[in-house]
């Protein structure tokens, strides 16, 4: 025999738990936005040290692993294991990579993939560079928006602040690097970070 009172109590407890989780999620989201705005407003002086870029990328991907799983998106690594350490601010680079990975994940539909790669290049007459690429299989960014996405407060996301990519660009440039966006090989978006090796 079903105890209706007990069942209702169980349903109420589940609903309260769900509501609390939603509140915590919203508070975390607001805190994240506030951090972005504060970081955008304050000076971003780098404090460089020698950083293993492949390890940093693996750590950031591991942090997002559960989000990849929940979204049904796979992540592939194509890392050049022979790249040397780069002289950059690890906190700046962590925040930049975390933002780029989150964007790629959010842009990728269920069943799609995000590919992260590293490589060393040496353009003619220039110092060696490390290329970090993050490519998704989403819909891509229209050409008319590719420069605008770096403008403060420009966003196409319904709940976005428009600060993320402009802040990411600042982090990369303060460390002597560049950030560019192009079409991905599978129709999505490819973001490339280039960092000089000193």
- What is the per-residue pLDDT across 66-94, written as a single tens digit (0 to 9) for each? 999 999 999 999 999 999 999 999 999 99
Token couple for 182:
């192009």
Q: How confident is the model at residue 31 (pLDDT cuts 50, 70, 90)?
A: low
Q: How confident is the model at residue 149 (pLDDT cuts 50, 70, 90)?
A: low
**Domain covering 48-196 assigned CATH 3.30.70.20 in the classification:** no
Residue 46 pLDDT > 80: yes
> What's the pTM?
0.72
Looking up tokens 């390890």 gives 55
Distance of CA 62 to the CA centre of its chain: 12
User: Which of 119, 133, 55 lies closest to 83 in space, CA to CA?
Assistant: 119
Q: Parse the chain into domains and list their residue ranges.
A: 1-42, 48-196
Going by DSSP bridges, is the β-strand pair 113-121/178-183 parallel, antiparallel, or unpaired? unpaired
Residue 40 pLDDT > 60: no
């Amino acid at each position: 025999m079903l105890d209706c009172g007990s069942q209702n109590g169980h349903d109420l407890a589940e609903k309260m738990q769900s509501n609390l989780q939603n509140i915590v999620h919203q508070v975390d989201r607001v805190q994240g936005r506030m951090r972005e705005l504060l970081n955008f407003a304050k000076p971003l002086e780098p404090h460089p040290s020698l950083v293993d870029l492949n390890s940093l990328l693996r750590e950031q991907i591991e942090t997002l692993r559960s989000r990849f799983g929940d979204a049904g998106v796979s992540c592939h690594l194509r890392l050049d294991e022979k790249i040397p350490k780069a002289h950059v601010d690890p906190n700046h680079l962590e925040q930049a990579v975390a933002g780029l990975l989150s964007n790629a994940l959010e842009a990728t539909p269920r069943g799609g993939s995000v590919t992260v790669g590293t490589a060393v290049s040496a353009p003619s007459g220039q110092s060696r560079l490390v290329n970090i690429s993050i490519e998704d299989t989403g819909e891509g960014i229209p050409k008319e928006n590719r420069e605008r996405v770096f403008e403060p407060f420009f966003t196409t996301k319904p709940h976005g602040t428009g600060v993320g990519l402009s802040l990411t660009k600042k982090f990369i440039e303060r460390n002597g690097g560049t950030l560019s966006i192009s079409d991905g090989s599978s129709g999505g978006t490819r973001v490339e970070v280039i960092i000089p090796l000193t």
